[in-house]
Amino acid sequence: MAFESRNPLTGEVYRNYPFDSSKAIREKIEKAQDAQRTWKQQSFAHRKECMLNLSKHILEQKLRLAEGITKEMGKPITEALAEVEKCALTARYYAEHAEAMLQSDFIEAKGRAEISYGPLGVIFGIFPWNYPLWQVFRFVIPSLMAGNAALFKHAENTPQCAVEIVHLVEKSGFSEGLVQHLFASLDSIEEIIANPAVKAVTLTGSEKAGSSVASLAGKYIKKVVLELGGSDPCIILPDADLKAAAKISALSRYQNTGQSCIAAKRFLVHDKVYDEFVSLFTTEAQKFIPANPAEAETNMGTLARKDLADIVMEQVEDALQHGAQLLFGGERLSDTQISPGVLIDINPASRVYKEELFGPIASFYRVKSEEEALLQANDSSYGLGASIWTQNTAKARALAEELECGMVYFNSMVKSTPELPFGGIKNSGIGRELSVLGIREFTTHKLIYPL
């Protein structure tokens, strides 16, 4: 099996890419190591110039890049354009702020102590297909500004997005070999992590993949950052703005055809407003119509592969067998298209209660109190994000403190933006991406004392 660029709607195969040999992988790692030795000596002014060039080139190629995303993984073109724009925004953000983020911190002890933040070296990243530019660039951009080199393995169904990323970096003035894609098989991952030149590893993907990579990182004593799955709760309290909550939460659940780790997946709705909210949400769900993702008016595209749609339908069927009801939608329309669904009366013994539902199905649960909502929200192996809808800020703040997750948003959907840290706890991952916390993940934290 090789990397294959295939249209998930039509099945058209654009191109196949063979796996890199062990020799080719070693040569790429050596090239990255050589490039990083030069790059780390470059001033922040030079790094900034290159990063601003990258932002400019991304925007200049915006439509072509977005069309590539849509062709390879089925995202609506309007969402693909937004993804590309966010990559350019993030490049500009770190160009402007990285130097300040990496300034030394000082501590007063028995004398003055300095903590400096320097580059680690060559960092290896493994990335999925659901945000094929954004997931990679939010790793590559801060890594480069910190003085590191970035090697990455992309998902096997989005290889042309990987090629585009490398091309954009190369034409922006960065050292040759500083960013490279490895057409690596799963069997070669240990070889890459074990290489002495590779100083750290990051993975965005499934819980199973994260566990495997973390084990390898531990075996070879390498720093690891993991951004894994999520089953984010969305808590709707009686005083919430129900219309706004329904509109924004439906967007959170159904954008990218439900293929987002931070989508609102479990809706915990207070009994006093349950029926009204479910009705409002269903009205919003009906506005998402699966169609050709290349057309500008389409607001729901395809799942990225047939096997992914198979899994979603298996989860829904299991829920129905355990007594749940599909209030709306949830129908298989084609190999890779499922209509947006609203699932109610879910039995805790069913798979959708325990597993991440990575598709366009919203799961609803009736709760009688804030305490019950909190207990059910935390009754998950995941801990990525959560949203709370209420007019009472103090109440939301108190609930947020008790939620077992890495991010809590009030009266909004959970998002990823360059200025805010992104990541979870429990089985949702280790470490943080983005913001000052993200750029410092792949740096040395060196104590210099006394001054």
Catalytic positions, written as ranges = 227, 261
Phi, psi angles (nearest 5°) of residue 290: -60, 130
Tokens 């103090």 found at: 394
Q: Which long-range contacts (CB under 8 A, 24 or more apart) does 342-347 make?
A: 342/278, 342/281, 342/282, 342/285, 343/316, 343/319, 344/278, 346/319, 346/322, 347/319, 347/322, 347/323
- The Cβ of residue 335 has, within 10 Å, a number of other Cβ atoms equal to 15
Cα three-residue angle 48-145-136, rounded to 5 degrees: 115
Strands 105-109 and 325-328: unpaired
Distances (CA, A) of 144 to 69, 95, 169, 173: 23, 10, 10, 12
Calculate the alpha carbon distances from 277 to 22, 77, 205, 243 in Å: 55, 30, 32, 8
Residue 398: strand, helix, or coil:
helix
Supply φ then ψ for residue 133, to 5 degrees. Answer: -95, -50
Tally the C-alpha atoms within 13 A of residue 3's C-alpha that lie toward its C-beta: 24
Other Cβ atoms closer than 10 A to 414: 23
d(C-alpha 383, C-alpha 399), whole Å: 14
Measure CA 57 to chain center.
23
Beta bridge partners of 78: none
Provide, for the chain, the percentages of residues in helix, strand and coil under a 3-state DSSP scheme, each rounded to the nearest 5: 45, 25, 35
Query: Phi first, then psi: what are they for 223, rounded to 5°?
Result: -60, 140
